[in-house]
Amino acid sequence: GMECKVFMGEEDVRRQQLNVFRMQLLGAEVIPVTSGNKTLKDATNEAMRYWVQHCEDHFYIIGSVVG
C-alpha cells in the first residue's frame, strides 16, 4: 500500500475525532498542527513545508477546498 500523512490543525483534530479515527483505521498518520490558529490554513502551510523538504519521494495531494 501507500503511506499517507494527513496534516490537520489541532483544533480540527479535536472537532473531527471520528474522522481522525477512521483515517487512522485505514493506516493514515494524522499529524496535528499546533502553529498559528491550529486550523486548516496552518495545516496546509505545514503540509507544504513538509512536501518541499521531501519532494524527491513524496507527493502533495490536497483533499479540501482551498484557494
Report the distance separating Cα 51 and Cα 60, nearest Å: 6
DSSP state of 49: H
Q: What's the pLDDT at 66?
A: 63
Residue 1 has pLDDT above 80, yes or no: no
Residue 47: per-residue pLDDT: 94
Would the CA dihedral through 16, 12, 41, 59 be positive or negative?
negative
Residue 30, amino acid: V
Q: What is the pTM of this model?
A: 0.85
- Judged by DSSP in three states, 9 sits in strand
What pLDDT, on the 0 to 100 scale, is given for residue 67? 56
How does pLDDT run across 5-44, given as a tens digit for each residue?
A: 999 999 999 999 999 999 999 999 999 999 999 988 899 9
Q: pLDDT at position 39, please?
A: 87
Among 1, 2, 8, residue whose Cα is nearest residue 50: 8
